Amino acid sequence: MLPSVPTLSNFSLFKIFLKLGCTAFGGPAAHLVFFYRRFVQQLGYLDEQQYSHLLALAQILPGPTSSQMGIAIGYQLKGYRGALLAWLGFTLPSALLMTLAAMLGLQFSAYFSADFFHVIQLIVFSVVAWAFWQMLRSFCKDQWQYVLMLLSGLFVYLVPISINQMLVILFGALAGLVYLHYFPQKSTLKPVTSISITAKKSFAYLWLILFALPFVLVPPLQYFFPHIWLDSFTGLYRTASLVFGGGHIILPFLQQDFVESGLVSQQHFDLGYAIAQLMPGPLFSFASYLGALLPLSSSAALNAAFATAVIFLPSFFLIFGALPYWSRLMQFPRLFQALAGINAAVVGLLLCLVVQMGEKYIRSGLDIVFIIAVIALLKSKVPVWLTLISSFFSYYGLLWLLDHYALFSFGL
């Protein structure tokens, strides 16, 4: 049994994360600050070292960093049940809102004009371009990482095969290990001394086996029994298992699996991703929106629940399987050097996406001015939700005026 905290009941843990799920705007970086303030500074359920090492694990694993941090905190405090309650509380608000947004979008999309979707696409492009710039500054520190980033983006752009993104990630890990061989570096992280995970390590590896099983079992099932449920499961599970570096990286994976396959229209996809930027909680709740659009069953709510569960499933397997071994894993610098290569490679994936989106979405010089303005606002201290909403209505209103009053004649 994991040691429980007497003053923290399961319901109290759920309420804490539910409140965070309703109020935690600003993306993973902000979420991690909220977690720190609540569980370390205010409640004292974790000390500084415990929090830093749980955070290191959440960051090095593929998947949504802030959600995995929440799962790890719940697991550390209240065991398996605590992990589930922490995830449920943090994810439920945004998942419900995104499901509702998908249902309303399907019902009213016929009333949206071409300019409406065009502005949405430009906003999505601005968000992704800004995310690319932030990730570039965070993950590309050395010259070899910049080279790897450019090669990765070029490869994905020029080689449009279904496994190109997986190949890029594997190549990134290999490049990181090769660099370590010629330029050895030591990890700056200290060994864990106060993490008190008492779950039996002899059984923890079973979670890692469960994590790997879908990659072995589902492809043969897809081959012999092709079905949209299996295809959707594969796309969502693979995306969550391969994503490093933040929620924005899910975009090229999900677009390849669900937009290019024709299951979801590009316009609805972009609309949902724009709405996801306005939501509190994890960006991975975009899967709830996507699931509600998939023709899996007659129930959009059931489809959304399925997509939400699948995209977060790898995180549970990885946290439960890796956390008991984490103090030993942190002694291997090769692990962190491989991650440095992977992070540089996924920045290349995002670069490729920015180029492809720019080719499709930018129609005029006025669009470029709008994109620059949105990125400038995202860089400022203006809240993201206010930036996106005000930008949308401002540019959509301008396009409406240009369309109805023929202001193009004035050179606008």
- Decide if 346 contacts 63 (C-beta within 8 A): no
Model confidence band, residue 40 (pLDDT cutoffs 50, 70, 90): very high
Helical pair 65-108 and 266-276, crossing angle rounded to 10 deg: 130
What does the longest C-alpha to C-alpha distance in the chain come to? Answer: 74
Q: What is the pLDDT of residue 118?
A: 93
Q: What is the pLDDT of residue 396?
A: 94
Alpha helices in 111-200 (DSSP H): 114-139, 143-158, 164-182
Q: What is the mean pLDDT of residues 185-205?
A: 56
- Decide if 237 contacts 307 (C-beta within 8 A): no
- Decide if 66 contacts 257 (C-beta within 8 A): no
Provide the whole-model pTM.
0.84
SS3 364: coil
Model confidence band, residue 359 (pLDDT cutoffs 50, 70, 90): very high
Model confidence band, residue 244 (pLDDT cutoffs 50, 70, 90): confident
Residue of 307, 283, 312, 284 whose CA lies nearest to 294 = 307
Q: What is the pLDDT of residue 152?
A: 94
The most confident of the ranges 52-66, 298-312, 344-358, 394-408 is 298-312
Give the burial class of 358: count Cβ atoms within 10 A of its Cβ; 0-12 exposed, 13-18 middle, 19 or more buried: middle
pLDDT at 187 over 70: no
pLDDT tens digits, one per residue of 120-140: 999 989 998 998 998 898 889
Q: What is the pLDDT of residue 185?
A: 62
pLDDT at 95 over 80: yes
SS3 198: coil
Q: Count how many residues are written for the chain.
A: 412
Mean pLDDT of the chain: 87
Residue type, 56: A
Q: How far is CA 151 from CA 64, 186, 344, 396, in A?
A: 25, 26, 10, 37
The most confident of the ranges 4-13, 46-55, 148-157, 322-331 is 148-157
**Letter string b/e over residues 71-98, b meaning 16 or more CB atoms within 10 A of that residue's CB:** bbbbbbbbbeebbbbbbbbbbbbbbbbb
Distance CA 45, CA 47 (A): 7
Q: What is the mean pLDDT of residues 191-210?
A: 67
Q: What is the pLDDT of residue 122?
A: 94
Q: What is the mean pLDDT of residues 285-304?
A: 96
Which residues fall within 8 angstroms of residue 338, CB to CB, at 6 or more apart? 173, 174, 176, 177
pLDDT at 400 over 80: yes
Q: What is the mean pLDDT of residues 284-300?
A: 96
